[in-house]
Structure 1
């Protein structure tokens, strides 16, 4: 296959005003300016912009049915109360069928927002067994890459805790370039000493973890009060801070804790839009980065358009510090255009994030007509101020396969999926 007539952001220092990309066996074999004849399939997308597809480093597919959900009573006085009154009620009402259809919807909406790799953190206490496999099947069916973890917690009793542990272990054995499993935890304040010990015996040093860290202040307060340790000190002493692990939020952490993430080659994923919505604070991601931590962008399941989270990440510090110089669009380069791709590359074993010979053909085609010149140096400015403003994705390729064509998913029937989602939601709402 050859994609012709596009401008190309390679994400390795070059912007090609008009050129072509040739793909064979899912891998890019030629990138060049100008034109070239090709005997195979030719796509002519003149005037459109080609760039690497995006990676969502922390999301909750199970949150799909929260849209329009009437919550009563709802008067949370703390982050824990918010979890109890909304999210922990929602996850208990989910069935495997709900998870399956939610994953279809999340994948379609992610595709249309330019995202092709999802790092998901699932919770469904009454539908644990096989949940990750069902979600992964839907995500892969739409054409995306999926890395899943089940949220182990003590809050629903020991039997469900043990089933959560088994779910993580069983799913982690199913490994392809499109499907990976890591070990999930909810948060320290819902995890006993015994639970960490059990998990450590199974995975210490062998499997990355995906965990919420100090999203609200209660996580640190509980952990210090009960265990006389801070959250990440607990995980480190348990031997659970394995290379390539994902630490979501980290709002109420100290430099020494974040140093543990850096030293064990893990990743901090910030989810700024969700944090503001939940009123838990704002991650000092610039400080995290200055300390040497790898900072990635996720969205915590707050919809599936990552562009919104990009906006909140960059603009949040302007408001908090009352300083328009506090952050700028170029700060996306080490995160969205850097560490996000590094995590995906290491996880899936495919070279994701550049348009260059030898890279996996995970690509998005954008309708973006700029009134000003685009260069390699100012592309991130165009992405932040222009593309994100009203992202318009026409085509998506994952491993060279065209999974979105002219805005329409190619592997699934979008109308049938949304109709089925609305049908299942009615029963879910009654259970909720």
Structure 2
């Protein structure tokens, strides 16, 4: 892909998310995958005219962290003993699931996730994949689904030593294989790029952490790991190493400006200082953390310290706007203070701040001339009150839902128009995902072992 057509989005209310936080009534012109002008745009011959009167034009949402395969367990009613904590959730649900995923299952799940992302205005995501029973070439299936959808993503295989050291080595070999394959393609601006992913500190030896960091540095890509997600994480590190999670990461040289730490729920002030000092960044998944009853990440403290934080959707709703709203309300409730975070701050974490986690803030995350044309158009026609420059941010955070996303443009390509996805057969993708989910649910219900 890579657009060669010219597009103008006319008469919309443009939420730029640029350095000056401008909100403009006007137009956006796009040519050859890039944003050319915003505001008062000179009339010309455009290949496509999108009328946005009464609508909101904004950057595509950035999902800072997700595990696409988890879509297969949405709504699942499993015949297992209900887990009482995060460790049991892993042992009884997620680990048995990913150990039984085939590469075909991976493709189906990723495609279904991409459908949900497109429909709710997410145009970029950082995806961590795990299929410990089918590691080899699994990232090719993830990439194939993302490329078919037209979305933009960084993807990697979640190397884990939860069973054996050899399993972790195979995961890292898959990351290396995929990165080498991507490099050989020699695409100037690929939408799908590779990165290095690891599972968590309690399933990673110091040797695996070091290996992952060396691979990321070799290919100049981000390193992503689940950090202090559950209480088991710091407990494991204190018991085995005499250090908390982030302290151990620092001491093995794992932390740097290209490190993305997902979750960071069970971290203390000293660990936040380490994150700040090393330049590492954090992906916050409020809905996933609530779903698994993990606790609340100290995101507002991170914000005050200047630690970059983006919003992710790990294993819960894939609606980007629902996720923004959950984050916005959760932290007000946590502090019992409605003033602690503004609508603008919440939206930043789902756009330009999320882009910073992957070093692409100069290309996406805001509507500015010269940036890649990742733009969405919202049609909040059901909103019962006026929308204007003074309140549009409040409406986006408090009122808008994914169903209000009307048009999605990625790299200048229109991949959804009037809520019809143009890059793939949505009905077929969902039917395929349902069949895959049935198989996965059956496998989980039939399994028995010491963890059940």
TM bracket, shorter-chain basis: over 0.9
1:6 equivalent in structure 2? 12
Tell me what 2:223 maps to.
209
- The SS at the match of 1:151 is strand
Q: C-alpha offsets along residues 258-313 of structure 1, whole Å, 9 cap, x if unaligned?
A: 22322232211111111111111111210111122111111113131122221221
Matched, 1:309 2:323: yes
Where in structure 2 are the equivalents of 1:144-155 lying within 5 Å? 144-155=151-162
Q: Cα offset for 1:34?
A: 6.9
Q: Deviations over 1:26-54 (max 9, x none)?
A: 00112223772325333334432211110
Aligned to 2:342: 328
Q: Quote the Cα distance in structure 1 between the aligned partners of 2:37 and 2:57.
A: 14
2:186 corresponds to: none
The total of aligned residue pairs comes to: 427
Take 2:319 and 2:347, find their aligned partners in 1: how far apart are those partners? Answer: 19
**C-alpha distance in 2 between matches for 1:236 and 1:11:** 33
Q: Is the 8 A contact 2:13 2:388 kept in 1?
A: no
2:265 is aligned with 1:265: no
Q: Name the residue aligned to 1:239.
A: 253
The alignment status of 1:87 with 2:94, answered yes or no, reads: yes
CA contact (8 A) 1:55 1:340 kept: yes
**C-alpha RMSD of matched pairs (Å):** 2.1
- Mapped partners of 1:280, 1:412: distance in 2: 36
Distance 2:362 2:17 in 1: 16
Against the structure 1 CA distance between its residues 211 and 372, is the aligned structure 2 distance closer, same or farther, given a 3 Å change threshold?
Answer: same
- Residue 350 of structure 1 deviates from its aligned partner by 6.0
- Range moving further from structure 2, 231-240 or 316-325: 316-325
Under a length normalisation based on structure 1, what TM-score does the superposition of the two structures give? 0.92
Work out whether residues 56 and 117 of structure 1, in 8 Å CA contact, stay in contact via their aligned partners in 2.
Answer: yes
> What's the CA shift for 1:207?
4.1
Cα distance change on mapping 1:52 and 1:190 into 2, 3 Å: same
SS of 2:69's partner is helix
Query: In the TM superposition, what are the counterparts of 1:75-224 in structure 2 within 5 Å?
Result: 75-173=82-180, 174=182, 176-203=189-216, 206-224=220-238
Task: Please tell me whether residue 16 in structure 1 is matched to residue 24 in structure 2.
Answer: yes
2:373 to 332, 345, 361: 361
| 2:413 is the alignment partner of 1:401 | yes
- One of 376, 391, 404 as aligned partner of 1:392: 404
CA distance in 2, matches of 1:245, 1:269: 10
Which deviations, in whole Å up to 9, do the C-alpha atoms of 1:322-381 show, x marking residues without a partner? Answer: 33334332331542243113235x24x861122221121100011024623421x54321
- TM superposition shift of 1:116: 0.6
Shift of 1:90: 1.3
Query: What's the CA shift for 1:188?
Result: 0.8
- Structure 2 CA distance for aligned equivalents of residues 47 and 381 of structure 1: 16
DSSP 3-state at the match of 2:350: helix
Inter-partner Cα distance in structure 2 for 1:44 and 1:101:
34
Q: Distance in 2 between matches of 1:34 and 1:193?
A: 55
Distance (whole Å) between structure 2 residues aligned to residue 317 and residue 7 of structure 1: 28
> For structure 1, which segment, 223-232 or 64-73, has the greater mean C-alpha deviation from structure 2 after superposition?
64-73
Q: TM-score, normalised by structure 2?
A: 0.88
Unaligned runs of 5+ in 2: 1-5, 184-188, 445-452
Deviations 1:202-244 (A, max 9, x none): 4457543101111111100110110112112222222222322
* Residues 29-48 of structure 1: pairs in structure 2 closer than 5 A: 29-33=36-40, 36-48=43-55
For residue 183 of structure 1, report the CA deviation from its aligned partner. Answer: 1.1
> In structure 2, what is the Cα distance between the partners aligned to 1:106 and 1:117?
12
Q: Contact 2:28–2:41 (CA<8 Å) still a contact in 1?
A: no
- Report if the CA contact (8 A) 1:5-1:35 is conserved: no
Rounded Cα–Cα distance in structure 2 between residues aligned with 1:257 and 1:402: 43
Question: Hey, what does 2:447 align to over in structure 1?
Answer: none
Say if 1:57 and 1:118, in contact at 8 Å, map to a contact too: yes
Q: Secondary structure at the match of 2:173?
A: helix
